[in-house]
Amino acid sequence: MNSNAIEIRGLIKKYAGFQLGPLDITVPRGAIYGLIGPNGAGKTTAMNMIFGLGRNDAGAIRVLALDHRADEVMLKQIASYVSPDLNFQVWGNVGRAIRFVRGFYPNWDDAYCTQLMQIFQLNDKDKIAALSFGAKTKLGLLLGLSRRPEVLILDEPTTGLDAVSKQQVFGELLKTVEDGERTVLISSHNLADIERFADHLGMIKNGKLLLEGRTDEIVERFRLAEFFTENGTAFPTYEGLTILKRDQNRWRALIDQQTGVQNWLQTRGAKDVSLTRLTLEDLFIALAKEERAQ
């Protein structure tokens, strides 16, 4: 059995003025995989491609070994997509939206659906137009989770949710993956939540994958370095080095410890190098800035 739930290989999607990819993403089975990146990086596009919301120009996508085009219907039976952009409003009330979606899934778990309705405080008779933004997001989650998908793909699922609701959502996601068989791919701008809940991470920027791996390993791999140099010192571009700020002879930089850049800095005259551990948010901001040494 394939140990990966989602495999994206050489994915390319071209738009006027933007190209996603070539993109390779590997989501291990049973993982909560956080896909992060600045606005417009291509996260939603990548997720859309999995579900055929537009056609990729190149590359292959496989979900539990199913090809996203050839096995489209099977793939959608075992995977569910949750996004605030899905429109349920035409169904009028919550009960009718549930009834419509449930009809597509023989494995629909009605008991779990009822349980989630209680947790999310939703009722059959609630008018969807009258729901708050957060409640609409919860409805999307309810519809996504109640079909008991093997792969759950969530695009910004916590947008508009208050702290308590977010806790409920992540609580349910953790329950979903606790048997080790189900997989969650989640994109979010809430990096504290991603760091806490996602065990794997991928970061996209300008349509390209910058980083991928276990969240703890990625956070451990990078350090914020502060050091001093003599007057006039400059640093050429070096792999694993991102200069964040220079204040005369005082420097702040993001370093990738895997590349040996720390030793290289010292050979180039860096003194008093101090390293600080970063949060995922610090790392995201630093990588998003993209200021390279000259």
Binding residues for another protein (CB under 8 A): 15, 48, 51-55, 72-74, 76-77, 80-81, 85-90, 95-96, 98-105, 110, 114, 117-118, 121, 123-127, 129-133, 135
CB of 68 to another protein, least distance (A): 12
C-alpha distances (whole Å) from 169 to each of 19, 80, 123, 179 are 32, 15, 17, 17
Which of 47, 114, 55 shows the shortest CA–CA distance to 85?
A: 47
Residue 86 or 293: which CB sits closer to another protein?
Answer: 86
Are 127 and 136 within 8 A, CB to CB? no
Which of 162, 147, 155, 33 shows the shortest CA–CA distance to 85?
A: 155
Are 152 and 145 within 8 A, CB to CB? yes
CB proximity list for 201: less than 8 A, separation 6 or greater: 33, 34, 36, 194, 211, 212, 213, 214, 215, 218, 280
What does the block give as tokens for 37?
A: 């990146």
C-alpha distances (whole Å) from 226 to each of 235, 266, 277 are 14, 12, 12
Residue 65 or 174: which CB sits closer to another protein?
Answer: 65
CB of 233 to another protein, least distance (A): 49
CB of 88 to another protein, least distance (A): 7
Residue 137 or 215: which CB sits closer to another protein?
Answer: 137
Distance between CA atoms of 260 and 227, rounded to whole angstroms? Answer: 16
Residue 4 or 77: which CB sits closer to another protein?
Answer: 77
CB of 8 to another protein, least distance (A): 17
Are 23 and 46 within 8 A, CB to CB? yes
Residue 51 or 170: which CB sits closer to another protein?
Answer: 51
Residue 125 or 277: which CB sits closer to another protein?
Answer: 125
CB of 22 to another protein, least distance (A): 19
CB of 285 to another protein, least distance (A): 27
